[in-house]
Amino acid sequence: MEIRQLKTFWTLASTRSFSRTAEVLNYVPSTITMQIKALEEELGVKLLDRLGKSVILTDAGHRLLPYANKILNDIEEARYVSSESGELTGTITIGADEVLCTYRLPALLRVFRERYPHVRLLFRPLSSHNLKQSLREGNVDVVFMLDEPSVSTDLHTELLMDEPFLMVVSPNHPLAACSTLCIEDFNREQILLSEKGCSYRTFFYHTLLRKGADSLTELEFNSVEAIKQCAMVGLGIALLPEMSLKGELERGELITLPWDLSEIQFATQMLWHQEKWISPSMKEFIELARSVLKLKVS
């Protein structure tokens, strides 16, 4: 088993694409195929399946991944402690949910790329319920998530900034003209919801039910942009982070409803595994995230 084979396997598990892996590692795609085939033959198992242009790990691939991650992490640490070079290199794999991918992280990634051009960034968009598990399995180095503040025994969690939420509708929606609302006003209304497993979707929906709403109709999406577009044409009521609504509110395409959302206390958070070795490049990335995303120190 060669280190380059493990690196290729680990990168492929992150990108889920042969062509993207070849681009990241500066190989031709056929080299990626040959290395994975050689690794599978040596281990005597199939590590991944190709479904069209997508790549998914087999059960054996999932079992190998944390070991490959640990080996490569140890090698990176060994290279650093034995090297006299002051230039930051290496790879950082980042995971985040769709909202933060779109509205918080682009500025951070741009600044980091400008400052440290020799550090390779791999980005993995993940659903909310997979973020922490990806850290625990070693699939990513750092994740960003929008969630309620929480404490974990194995994950280091930092709150970066509070994220207020707004309940919005189209200006033509029947509730748009109301100066006050009561829970009965939501009965028989269509609620535009994010995917199952999203923490604020669950909180929002259960809060309405707990306060006495009934006969709610759900329409589920896996994209904030899709929710906004449907809200703008009057399909229903949406609860979204304020950071995702600035343009639509300024243009009058959506308006806020007068409903108390003070119970919703969510924040952009940065997490990594407590047992992970923090490489110099990862340390700089964490410090820059604190600066760009305006860490609030309590």
- What is the share, in percent, of the chain residues with pLDDT greater than 90? 38
Give the pLDDT confidence score for residue 296 in this predicted structure.
47
Mean pLDDT value of segment 196-209? 75
How far apart CA 202 and CA 193 sit, in angstroms, is 9
Strands across the sheet with 217-220, in order?
A: 217-220, 190-193, 237-241, 165-169, 255-256
In sequence order, which residues have a C-beta less than 8 Å from that of residue 173 and are 6 or more positions away?
Answer: 234, 237
Residue 209 or 145, more confident: 145
How far apart CA 145 and CA 158 sit, in angstroms, is 10
pTM of the model: 0.72
The domain spans of the chain are 1-84, 85-156+274-298, 165-260
CATH classification of 165-260, choosing from 3.30.1600.10, 3.40.190.10, 3.40.630.30, 3.40.50.300? Answer: 3.40.190.10
Q: Residue 81 — pLDDT band, cuts 50, 70, 90?
A: low
**Torsion of Cα atoms, 165 then 171 then 175 then 179, to 10°:** 80
CB neighbours (10 Å) of residue 225?
11
Q: Name the pairing type of β-strands 91-96 and 142-147.
A: parallel
33 token code pair = 């195929």
Is residue 210 pLDDT above 80, yes or no?
Answer: no
For residues 92 and 63, is the Cβ–Cβ distance under 8 A? Answer: no
Give the pLDDT confidence score for residue 126 in this predicted structure.
81
For residues 191 and 237, is the Cβ–Cβ distance under 8 A? Answer: yes
| Superfamily of chain region 85-156+274-298 | Periplasmic binding protein-like II (3.40.190.10)
How high is the mean pLDDT of the chain?
A: 86
Architecture of domain 1-84: Orthogonal Bundle (1.10)
Give the pLDDT confidence score for residue 150 in this predicted structure.
78
**85-156+274-298 and 165-260 agree in CATH topology:** yes
Q: Residue 21 — pLDDT band, cuts 50, 70, 90?
A: confident
How many CA atoms does the CB half-sphere of 81 hold within 13 Å?
7
Mean pLDDT value of segment 118-141? 83
How far apart CA 197 and CA 201 sit, in angstroms, is 8
Q: Which of 230, 242, 249 lies closest to 173 in space, CA to CA?
A: 230
Give the pLDDT confidence score for residue 298 in this predicted structure.
38
Q: What is the pLDDT of residues 216-259, one digit of tens each?
A: 788 888 889 999 999 999 999 998 999 999 999 999 999 999 98
Q: Name the pairing type of β-strands 266-273 and 142-147.
A: antiparallel
